[in-house]
Amino acid sequence: MLIHVVKPSETLWQIASYYRTTVGAIAEINELPNPNQLVIGLALVIPTEDVFHTVAPGESLWKIAQKYGVTVQTILKNNYIPNPADIYPGLLLFIPALRYRIQPGDTLWAVAKKYGVSLNDLIKVNNIKNVNIIYPGTLLIIPRKPRPLINVNGYIYILGEKAVPIVEKDGEHLTYLSPFAYLIREDGNLQPIDDIPAIRAAKAENAIPMMSVTNFTSTAKGENLAHIVLNSSQAIKLLIDNIINIMKEKGYSGLNIDFENVLPADREAYNRFLQNVVTRLHPEGFFVSTAVAPKTSGKQVGLLYEAHDYEAHGRIVDFVILMTYEWGFRKGPPQSISPLNQIKRVLDYAVTVIPREKIYFGFQIYARDWLLPFVPGQEAETFSVQEAVLRAIRFGAAIQYDTVTQSPFYRYTDARGRAHEVWFEDARSAQAKFETVKNYRLKGISYWALGYPFPQNWVLLEDNFTIVK
């Protein structure tokens, strides 16, 4: 896949022609409601395995051809270059993807083996619906790059039957689905949730249900609730008993513990609780994970951070989800929700105390709209990335991109004359996060939260990784 940023006066037809694809293909993959309505700065995912390469100083056509697995003649032919010596730094070259025409007796497995690519990637790139039906003469696109394995979790707090269409749409991209969440009570009991429809839909998509328990709500921090439970052996025993019973009854395979705002004095009590949970759940065949606040050092102060002992979590549980989002929170000033420069500071610390193979990168897939000028305590509106794009189109706002945080944003004036600032995610910011996951060699990605449409994310996720199912 390629990413194209819309320029002034550019049409989708022009973009499609440039990339040798169709308007329909671009509109479909980006879920554009009206292909005739674009906005400056909009990042579009282009469905192609072809690439455009900018010649670097000292590069030869032979080196470029070797890099992309094509011949020098292929590059010359597709770029109308009569003399191989006539290349220079900055020259943009079109590099077509490898293609193979199916012969009688061919199988997809044999084609994948011949080109050293995975069968799953070959199927996905060519959008093959039935692997048992391929016809001689069909032209297959050969995937250009190997895709590393990744585990993907998706939290969902829209429950009941409303969860089903969401899971049916996004479940194919998930390793785990986490209905959020069972709220603990002071005595160790759990407040029930309507999670059976989501679990059923997850299993139909071959996604593993992961039970989630928490101590907080949208209106209560939960620090005192956590204190009572974590310091009561009776409450802990009942809580773990209840967790095991629910997991067995409903078909969960693992547990995610998301205790937030735990009092600093309860740090060791929380660690002991985690060890207790693992000791009880592992023999039953269940895995255990935690969600932790984004820390940049072991000495970071504050209610969100001090009781989250990265080193202990990394040692005790099976994997750890870093909640690397919410810098731009609902009642704070407008800013990037998931600034990559800040996230990298968290990762730089995390990989020193938690094994990389246990770290999941937290990825938020929603947008926020703040009224300007910002008034402390004023709450921003939260909605989907797709709605952020539609809003930019509706108000004719040019989308800008902050290269420090690797985040898109824009400003607009509404019908009542009020100024707004919107921060969200797009194809560029998603790709930057995926590159970070690969560079830090992390185990997984965890999305908060399903139910906010962001079509480009899922296309790029599949283009960058092979998802463990």
- pLDDT band at residue 270 under the 50/70/90 scheme: very high
Split at pLDDT 50, 70, 90, the class of 331 is very high
- The answer, yes or no, to whether residue 144 has pLDDT greater than 80, is no
| All domains in the chain, ordered by first residue | 1-47 (3.10.350.10), 51-96 (3.10.350.10), 100-141 (3.10.350.10), 149-467 (3.20.20.80)
Phi, psi of 287 (to 5 degrees): -95, 165
Q: For residues 197 and 163, is the Cβ–Cβ distance under 8 A?
A: yes
**Cα four-point dihedral sign 268, 269, 275, 278:** negative
- Yes or no: say if 242 and 279 are a contact pair by the CB < 8 Å rule: no
Give strand ranges (E) for 166-272.
Answer: 176-179, 182-184, 190-191, 208-214, 254-258
Is residue 268 among the annotated active site residues? no
CA atoms within 13 A on the CB side of 178: 26
* CB-side neighbour CA atoms (13 Å) of 22: 4
Nearest of 7, 78, 84, 1 to residue 40 by alpha carbon: 7
User: How far, in Å, CA of 462 to CA of 172, rounded?
Assistant: 10
Collapse the DSSP code of 290 into the 3-class scheme (helix H, G, I; strand E, B; otherwise coil) and give the result. Answer: strand
pLDDT at 97: 86
Q: How far apart are CA 193 and CA 209, in angstroms?
A: 14
Over the range 88-124, which residues count as b (16 or more CB within 10 Å of their CB) and which as e? eeeeebebbbbeeebeeebebeebbeeeebeebbbbe
pTM over 0.85: yes
Which one of 223, 260, 306, 425 is the catalytic residue?
Answer: 260
* pLDDT interval class at 395 (50, 70, 90): very high
Quickly tell me which residue has 């202990």 as its tokens: 312
Encode pLDDT of 11-20 as tens digits.
999 999 988 8
Distance from C-alpha of 56 to C-alpha of 36, rounded to nearest angstrom? 36
